[in-house]
DNA sequence: CAGCGCTTTGCTACCGGTTGCAATAGCGTT
DNA sequence: AACGCTATTGCAACCGGTAGCAAAGCGCTG
């Protein structure tokens, strides 16, 4: 072993007086090796500071234990708990996450190709605003790593999506709002991806449209960003007289809802919920603070991630899942 | 080429009628190769969907273009913009980030050893609460990947830290507070790591102690968490009569400041800044919203990350840097 | 003490690239 | 036509492991 570079299996083998294959076996759980030579190897390995080179191992085994996580939405604070839960769960399985930032310089396709070149075992799209057709394209290499979608529905048949059950959750929210006496609802939507259109908004409208007569007003923020929410609500309130306004605003997620509360309260002096009730979605911890006190719906993040991991490990066939969360009734409704 | 697995350089070579080394050259910028055979190779590669296997390349070149990012503080929303800027900058240099979650199950040492086994080119500690002695230990392998600290100072001589200049920034903040007429300051501290002790708190105290006579009261939150901030401020306000209270609270970062504002305002009915002024640190975008309207100090994140990247690329000798940011005066003072 | 079966060990080949050198080709000279 | 020079290409060896098989070791039986 040269001093400059790190010890290899061959170095340890020499020191322990065995062949390098025996060294490999000492580090392979369940391999056929005599207890005494195992100990001898581990002892020498510790002495030399040897730890198997995972790159070399991955090259030989064709599995890296690396998962690419694609995120395009760093303005949404809810991404943080998602990343926390996801990385922790992956690490518990000896895997690691490569965090890839999707933005105008680096689109989904580039990211997937790049991750593919790095031989990741899977790619997880974390609630990103992808255009479904972009992932349906032939541009994707045939042998690309398996794709999964987390915290968003997918309309692409062959891509499993694990998310919070939009039908059940929106039913709970709708029932709550109805009971509270709200009758003039509005919906604030985020990115205009196809997959979203089929989700929360649809279930919301399906319930209210018959009760309202008219179509439910939609406020399009265009992204999951507080400022975008502020902007679109500002425009709405400026152009709508108090008498004609909605009495409750369902926001596609908490980031939008927080932006909406800020604007309603500080720019228009509206009281929440008396003048305008607001509902979010995600169960972001920030929304629970007294300043916002936002009624929201908690996504079952641990369960969602656990299910996804089981699919990665092959313990569960890849499939789309819709898991139930929990309605969090707070002061904003 | 078998259909099941992806094309290799040898497959492309066969198709193009050259040797596999020529294929490698076609993908190596600046390699010695005839233009016509280069085109021929690229054409066949496109046809077969060949892209070089970065794992194999890394094994041979001993550089992975992977950087491990260690984060222990997912409760702090400011981590999100940090991750955003960092990943984008890395990706612009063809590198990628492995996000590693430090928690009670996975400490710094394990993370560094794990990253080392994956042969990352560097490890970046993103403002994590490490105990300096933990990284000074002999436990670290001699040939570990180079360590860097971002957005936190380091007292470890051989580990470069790129951060916001605490001396300059605190001087600006202190001057501002003095001019506004505050005379009874308090300081809320986060994790009790050594490195922090030398930073913001010290510069704050050095200024105020002489003016106050008594030592500056310290409220120890113990972590960068809104709830921890709420708890420690609650305890302080409960046990301190209005006459004896501080008139301005300097918080070690924005997450703490937001927790403090919430508690002061909603639990004790204090007006901010009339009854208690509050200052944060980081320049988190959330703190700018009307609800908080927090005076803070913006870290020069893009510059910090740019400098760090230059060190990674060897364009700049590894060194600790303290860069100036910008005081953001808002309504909380 | 040969024969048998099971555990343990060593070996060849391979994963998919890169490195550095040697061989070859192409072209202009004399 | 032979020669020399340079641009290009091919090759053996290597990066640090793993898979799967063959050989060796060992204890026991008959």
Looking at beta carbons, which residues of chain A come within 8 Å of B105?
88, 91-92
Look at A1-5, B6-10, B27-31 and tell me which has the smallest mean pLDDT: A1-5
**Ramachandran quadrant class, A159 (left: phi over 0; alpha: psi -120 to 50; beta: rest):** beta
Q: How far, in Å, CA of A304 to CA of A316, rounded?
A: 13
Work out whether strand B96-101 and strand A185-189 pair parallel, antiparallel, or are unpaired.
unpaired
Rounded average pLDDT over B6-16: 92
Task: Considering only the beta carbons, identify the residue of A5, A117, A261 that sits closest to B52.
Answer: A117
A117 CB within 8 Å of a chain B CB:
yes
Residue A82 phi, psi (nearest 5): -60, -45
The answer to whether the Cβ–Cβ distance between B55 and A64 falls below 8 Å is yes
Nearest to B180 by CA among B333, B294, B23: B333
- B132 close to B156: Cβ distance less than 8 angstroms: yes
A178-225 confidence digits (pLDDT tens): 999 999 999 999 988 766 556 899 999 999 999 888 899 999 999 999
Cβ atoms of residues A186 and A246 within 8 Å: yes
Q: Among A91-100, A297-306, B34-43, name the one with the lowest average pLDDT.
A: B34-43
Among left, alpha and beta (phi > 0; psi -120 to 50; other), residue B135 is alpha
- Is-contact B85 B301, C-beta < 8 A? yes
More confident residue, A128 or B186: B186
pLDDT, tens digit (0-9, with 9 covering 90-100), for A66-119: 999 999 989 999 999 999 999 999 999 999 999 999 999 999 999 999 999 999
Least confident of A263-277, B126-140, B301-315: B126-140
Residue A6 clears pLDDT 90, i.e. is over it? no
Which chain B residues have a beta carbon less than 8 Å from that of A54? 117-119
d(CA A324, CA B33): 59
Burial of A225 (0-12, 13-18, 19+ CB in 10 A): buried
Chain C nucleotides with an atom closer than 7 Å to a protein C-beta: 7-12, 14-20
Q: Report CA(B142)–C1'(D19) in Å, whole number.
A: 32
- Find, among A88, A148, A85, A160, the residue nearest to A112 by Cα: A148
Which of B46, B96, B284 to probe by mutation at the A interface, max A CB count within 10 Å? B96
Q: What is the pLDDT of residue A239?
A: 95
How many CB atoms are closer than 10 A to CB B204?
Answer: 25
Distance CA A26, CA A311 (A): 29
A143, closest residue in chain B (CA to CA): B6
- pLDDT over 60 at B81, yes or no: yes
pLDDT digits (tens, 9 = 90+) for B190-222: 988 766 556 899 999 999 999 888 899 999 999
Using the Cβ of B98 and the Cβ atoms of chain A, whether some distance falls under 8 Å is answered with yes
Which tops the pLDDT comparison, A331 or B2? A331
- Peptide bond just before A314 cis, omega within 30 deg: no
From the number of C-beta atoms within 10 Å of its C-beta (0-12, 13-18, 19+), residue A231 rates as: middle
Judged by CB atoms closer than 8 Å, whether chains meet at B141 and A6 is answered as yes
What proportions of chain A, in percent to the nearest 5, are helix, strand and coil?
Answer: 45, 15, 40
Number of helices (H), then strands (E), in chain A: 13, 12
The token pair that represents A83 in the structure block: 């990343």
Dist. CA B188–CA B178, nearest whole Å: 18
Q: Find out whether A237 and A247 touch, Cβ atoms under 8 Å.
A: no
Task: Name the 3-class secondary structure at B30.
Answer: coil
- Assess A88–B contact: CB distance below 8 Å, yes or no: yes
Gap from A26 CA to D30 C1', in Å?
37
Where b means 16+ CB within 10 Å and e means fewer, A163-193 reads bbbbebbbbbbbebbeeeebeebbbbbbbeb
**Token reading at A235:** 């425009």
Q: Which of B123, B168, B184 is nearest to B308 (CA)?
A: B123
Average pLDDT, chain B: 92
pLDDT digits (tens, 9 = 90+) for B222-253: 999 999 999 999 999 999 999 999 999 999 99
Tell me the DSSP string of A165-193.
Answer: -HHHHHHHHHHHHHHTT--SEEEEE----
Alpha helices in chain A (DSSP H): 9-16, 20-26, 35-48, 54-61, 79-92, 108-117, 132-136, 166-179, 194-197, 200-212, 226-239, 254-262, 301-312
Q: What is the predicted pLDDT for the residue at A2?
A: 37
Nucleotide nearest to B62 (CA to C1'): D15
Q: Do the Cβ atoms of A188 and A157 come closer than 8 Å?
A: no
Complete domains list, chain A, with CATH = 9-52 (1.10.260.40), 63-164+301-324 (3.40.50.2300), 166-298 (3.40.50.2300)
Does the pLDDT of residue B2 top 50, yes or no? no
Report d(CA B276, CA B81) in Å as an integer: 29
Burial B93-111 (b: 16+ CB within 10 A, else e): eebbbbbbbbeeebebeeb
Query: Over pLDDT 90: what percentage of chain A?
Result: 82
Residues 168-207 of A with CB under 8 A from B: none
User: What digits encode the pLDDT tens for the residues B49-65?
Assistant: 999 999 999 999 999 99
Helix B9-16 / helix B35-48 crossing angle, nearest 10 deg: 120
Length reported for chain A:
333
| Beta bridge partner(s), residue A277 | A248
Optimal mutation site among B72, B291, B292, B294, interface A, most CBs of chain A within 10 A: B291
Structural tokens at position A174: 């709708």
What pLDDT, on the 0 to 100 scale, is given for residue B3?
41
Please tell me the distance from the alpha carbon of residue B198 to that of residue B195, in angstroms, as a whole number. 6
Work out the minimum CA distance from B53 to partner chain A, whole angstroms: 5
Interface contacts (A, B; CB < 8 Å) = 151
pLDDT in tens, A215-246: 999 999 999 999 999 999 999 999 999 999 99
Average pLDDT over residues A50-78: 95
Cβ-nearest to B83 among A99, A258, A266: A99
Interchain proximity B55–A103, CB inside 8 Å = no
Residue with the two structure tokens 């629970």: A288
Q: What is the pLDDT of residues B106-162, one digit of tens each?
A: 999 899 999 999 999 999 999 777 776 667 665 676 668 999 999 988 777 788 999
Which residues 121-160 of chain A have a CB within 8 Å of chain B? 141-143
> What does the pLDDT average to over A272-287?
96
Local structure of B149: helix, strand or coil? strand
Strand pairing class (B96-101; A96-101): antiparallel
């Amino acid at each position: 072993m040269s001093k400059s570079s790190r010890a290899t299996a061959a170095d340890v083998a020499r020191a322990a007086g065995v062949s390098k294959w025996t060294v490999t076996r000492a580090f392979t759980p369940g391999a056929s090796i005599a207890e005494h030579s195992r100990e001898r190897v581990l002892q020498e390995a510790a002495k030399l500071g040897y730890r198997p080179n995972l790159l070399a191992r991955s090259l030989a085994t064709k599995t890296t234990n690396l998962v690419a996580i694609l995120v395009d939405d760093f303005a949404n604070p809810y991404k943080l708990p998602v990343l926390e839960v996801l990385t922790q769960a992956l690490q518990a399985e000896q895997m690691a996450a490569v965090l890839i930032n999707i933005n105008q310089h680096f689109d989904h396709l580039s990211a997937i190709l790049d991750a593919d070149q790095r031989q990741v075992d899977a790619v997880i799209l974390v609630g990103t605003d992808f255009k479904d057709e972009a992932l349906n394209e032939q541009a994707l290499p045939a042998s690309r790593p398996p794709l999964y979608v987390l915290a968003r529905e997918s309309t692409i048949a062959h891509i499993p999506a694990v998310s919070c059950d939009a039908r059940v959750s929106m039913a709970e929210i709708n029932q709550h709002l109805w009971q509270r006496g709200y009758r003039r609802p509005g919906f604030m939507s985020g990115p205009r991806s196809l997959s979203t259109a089929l989700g929360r908004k649809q279930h919301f409208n399906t319930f209210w449209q018959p009760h309202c007569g008219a179509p439910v007003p939609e406020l399009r923020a265009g992204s999951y960003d507080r400022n975008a929410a502020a902007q679109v609500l500002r425009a709405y309130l400026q152009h709508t007289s108090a008498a004609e306004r909605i009495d409750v605003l369902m926001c596609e997620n908490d980031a939008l809802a927080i932006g909406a509360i800020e604007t309603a309260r500080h720019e228009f002096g509206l009281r929440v919920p008396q003048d305008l009730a607001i509902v979010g979605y995600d169960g972001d911890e920030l929304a629970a603070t007294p300043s916002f006190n936002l009624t929201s719906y908690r996504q079952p993040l641990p369960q969602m991630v656990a299910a996804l991991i089981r699919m990665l490990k092959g313990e569960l066939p890849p499939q789309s899942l819709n898991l139930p969360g929990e309605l969090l009734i707070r002061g904003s409704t």
